[in-house]
Amino acid sequence: MILSEILYKISLQAVSGKTDIEINKIVFDSRQVEKGSLFVAIGGTQVDGHQFIGKAIDLGASAILCEHLPETLNEAITYIQVENSARAMGFAAANFYQHPSKKLKLVGVTGTNGKTSIATLLFRLFRRLGYRCGLLSTVQNQIDDDIIPSTHTTPDSVKINELLADMYQKGVTYCFMEVSSHSVVQERIAGLHFVGGIFTNITHDHLDFHGTFDNYLKAKKGFFDQLPASAFALVNTDDKNGKIMLQNTAARKETYSLKNIGTFKGKVLACSLFGLQMEIDNKEVWFKLIGSFNAYNLLGVYGAAVLLGEDSDEVLMQLSDIQPPAGRFEQVVSKNNIVGIVDYAHTPDALKNVLETIVDLREGNQQIITVVGCGGNRDATKRPIMAEIACKMSDKVILTSDNPRNEEPLDILAEMQKGVPAIHFKKTQTIEDRHEAILAAVKMAKPEDIILVAGKGHETYQEIKGIKHHFDDKEVLKEAFGD
Ligand SMILES: CC(=O)N[C@H]1[C@@H](OP(=O)(O)OP(=O)(O)OC[C@H]2O[C@@H](n3ccc(=O)[nH]c3=O)[C@H](O)[C@@H]2O)O[C@H](CO)[C@@H](O)[C@@H]1O[C@H](C)C(=O)N[C@@H](C)C(=O)N[C@H](CCC(=O)O)C(=O)O
Ligand SMILES: Nc1ncnc2c1ncn2[C@@H]1O[C@H](COP(=O)(O)OP(=O)(O)OP(=O)(O)O)[C@@H](O)[C@H]1O
Ligand SMILES: N[C@H](CCC[C@H](N)C(=O)O)C(=O)O
Ligand SMILES: [Mg+2]
């Protein structure tokens, strides 16, 4: 595409060089540059992309999109200066791929917990309702039956537009995507056209990246602030910050609640290890998801589907038959009835919700044994809190490694240990190796006991010092059960 078309409607501060040149690729990593690329220099969290402009030119970049121009300009190259290059890249990517988000119906889901659950349920529901669908999620990206591995919860803006363009070409009507707070701040969703946005909840996470809870809140709100008037903004108002999402949005304001207020109301009637019974719009329905926190996810999905024009009875009928995504309250039961539960709870609130559900469901003298760790190079302030929650709500706890990434596993564990109240020392142990920790939990379990393995859910790897080793909590549980 011609550069001037890629720059259409983008506010430019300065241009040096020709804009009637052909561009065949937009890249923001110099290592991906090929002949004819537009290289976008972005100030990152580790390095400033502007320092790679020279390297990008050496590798064949024809044009540079940046926030400040290099001291010496190469006359053969076009330089475009903008205020925010990440944001400009979002709009450039939308132009380059010819606005796929406007050609299909894109729905975004944001919140600390529940994004994957809601986006995946919507994807599965709308496929059952007869539509071709796309999904952009933490677990995987998907176009109908085709699974495309995902590297982020929300991909970068070029990747999103490339995937949406592919979806449009394959006849997709609806795409459901997760909108992480990182993606809002880093402008990965700039230039996208949404028909709806959903807010789940906001609790403690990602303070390493956002600095303060207030900034985290602003990031989530930023998604709703950029929705157009034609979209709906569907918000869980039982979350005390829910209404804040609606403060400055141009979108139609809609709400859901389990407290009998708002557009969509629901009530939990019963919850067991087999499912959840709810009343929605005066209809009683059983769902295959477990835990009252999932009642919020189901109600959000129901609300969104109705707002998108689907028949409410049909929606409930189909939704009642849908399985939760992988690694969300997934059960592996041994032959002698030890109940293993693998769950992606990696925030204090998620861990508390899952354990509350397990405590409510436990019968007689069933013990709860929790195996949990916290990821490295991520918010360290949640470590002692998660350890404390695990200890207070379980009979036995094994603190272990999650994805240590570039941190020392024992340093992470030392921070978790700080949260263990003295009265719980006796029931808590630390086993650095996650495989060993799961085996130990199974060894100490009696028939009927419940083992919660929290934090990694669907993940099939453990990231240690830049290398992803194969690791699957479900697989290890099965191995430990030895059935
Ligand atoms: C903290 C964070 O969000 N980092 C993301 C960010 O990288 P960064 O800002 O650190 O980049 P950097 O390394 O400083 O480099 C700056 C710029 O220089 C460029 N560069 C760098 C080196 C080089 O040789 N040449 C070059 O051009 C880079 O491509 C980049 O454009 O931009 C990159 C490109 O889009 C992302 O891949 C990267 O995600 C990292 C891998 C990551 O782990 N992100 C996590 C925290 C994340 O985004 N998570 C959320 C989910 C959160 C949730 O649970 O809600 C997600 O959406 O996945
Ligand atoms: N509505 C909810 N409220 C609170 N906790 C929830 C909710 N839904 C799911 N959880 C808990 O959070 C965990 C992660 O759920 P899910 O993957 O849907 O969240 P997410 O927002 O996509 O997370 P991520 O930020 O990692 O992408 C679940 O395994 C469960 O423990
Ligand atoms: N989307 C979350 C995933 C955390 C998963 C957990 N297993 C970890 O590695 O910390 C994040 O980027 O913080
Ligand atoms: Mg997710």
* Ligand 2 atom showing the smallest separation from residue 457 Cα: 29
ipTM: 0.97
Out of 137, 203, 346, mutate this one to test ligand 3's pocket (max ligand atoms within 8 Å of CB): namely 346
Residue 192 has pLDDT above 90, yes or no: yes
Ligand 3 pocket test: pick from 153, 378, 460 the residue with the most ligand atoms within 8 Å of its Cβ: 378
Which ligand 1 atom is nearest residue 138's CA? 58
Nearest CA to ligand 1 atom 27: 29
Mutate to test the pocket of ligand 2, among 287, 329, 344, 382 (most ligand atoms within 8 A of CB): 344
Closest CA to 65 of 43, 49, 44, 82: 82
CA of 458 to the centre of ligand 1 (A): 22
Q: What is the pLDDT of residue 362?
A: 92
Both tokens assigned to 75: 């006359």
What is the C-alpha separation between 469 and 68, in angstroms, rounded? 40
pLDDT at 273 > cutoff 90: no
pTM as predicted: 0.96
Mean pLDDT, rounded, of the chain: 97
395-441 confidence digits (pLDDT tens): 999 999 999 999 999 999 999 999 999 999 999 999 999 999 999 99
Tracing tokens 């272990």 back to the chain, one arrives at: 400
User: Which-ligand-closest: CA of 375?
Assistant: 3
- 109: confidence class by pLDDT, cuts 50, 70, 90: very high
Residue keyed to tokens 């592996």: 332
Q: Which residues pair with residue 199 across a beta bridge?
A: 110, 235
Checking if the pLDDT of 368 tops 90, the result is yes
Q: How many whole angstroms separate alpha carbon 18 and alpha carbon 41?
A: 19
Instruction: Give percent above pLDDT 70 in the chain.
Output: 100
Nearest bound ligand to CA 328? Answer: 2
Residue 260: is its pLDDT beyond 90?
A: no
Q: 346 in ligand 3 pocket by Cβ < 6 Å?
A: yes
Section 66-92 average pLDDT: 97
Look at residue 173 and tell me whether its pLDDT is greater than 90: yes
Section 340-356 average pLDDT: 97
Residue 469 has pLDDT above 90, yes or no: yes
Report the number of secondary-structure helices (H) and strands (E) in the chain. 16, 24
Give me ligand 2 centre to Cα 27, in Å: 32
Candidate from 152, 177, 468 with most ligand 1 atoms within 8 A of CB, to mutate? 152
Q: Does the pLDDT of residue 360 top 90, yes or no?
A: yes
Is residue 283 packed enough to be buried (19+ CB in 10 Å), middle (13-18) or exposed (0-12)?
exposed
What is the structure's pLDDT at 391? 98
Q: Whose CA is nearest to atom 1 of ligand 2?
A: 114
> Phi and psi (nearest 5°) for 257?
-160, 150
Which atom, in ligand 1's list, is nearest to the CA of 46? 14
Contacts of 108 (CB under 8 A, 6+ apart): 177, 178, 179, 189, 192, 194, 196, 197, 198, 223
Between CA 124 and CA 133 the distance in angstroms is 8
Among residues of the chain, what percentage have pLDDT more than 90?
96
CA of 350 to the centre of ligand 1 (A): 25
pLDDT tens-digit profile of 124-171? 999 999 999 999 999 999 999 999 999 999 999 999 999 999 999 999
The answer on pLDDT for 229 being more than 90 is yes
What is the distance in A from the centroid of ligand 2 to the CA of 140? 15
Q: Is any ligand 3 atom within 6 A of the Cβ of residue 403?
A: yes
471 Cβ closer than 6 Å to some ligand 2 atom: no
Q: Residues comprising the binding site?
A: 30, 111-117, 153-154, 180, 186, 188, 378, 402-405, 455, 459
153 Cβ closer than 6 Å to some ligand 3 atom: yes
The whole-number average pLDDT for the span 271-294 is 94
How high is the pLDDT of residue 364? 84
Q: From CA 234, how far away is CA 220, in angstroms rounded?
A: 13
What's the pLDDT tens digit per position in 23-60? Answer: 999 999 999 999 999 999 999 999 999 999 999 999 99
- pLDDT, residue 18, reads 96
Question: With a 6 A CB cut-off, is 108 part of the ligand 2 pocket?
Answer: no
- For β-strands 78-81 and 14-16, DSSP reports them as antiparallel
CA of 208 to the centre of ligand 3 (A): 12
Residue nearest to atom 29 of ligand 2 (CA): 344
Instruction: Report pLDDT for 308.
Output: 98
Which position has the token pair 């804009």? 19
Tell me: pLDDT of 483 over 90.
no
Higher pLDDT, 162 or 206: 162
- Going by CA atoms, what residue is nearest to atom 13 of ligand 3? 378
Pocket flag, ligand 2, residue 116 (CB < 6 Å) = yes
Which pLDDT score is estimated for 52?
98
Q: Give per-residue pLDDT as tens, 305-314.
A: 999 999 999 9
Task: Look at residue 421 in the predicted model and tell me its pLDDT.
Answer: 96
Tell how far the Cα of 44 is from the centroid of ligand 1, in angstroms: 7
Point out which residues pair with 331 in neighbouring strands: 341
User: How far is ligand 4, taken at its centre, from the CA of residue 454, in Å?
Assistant: 15
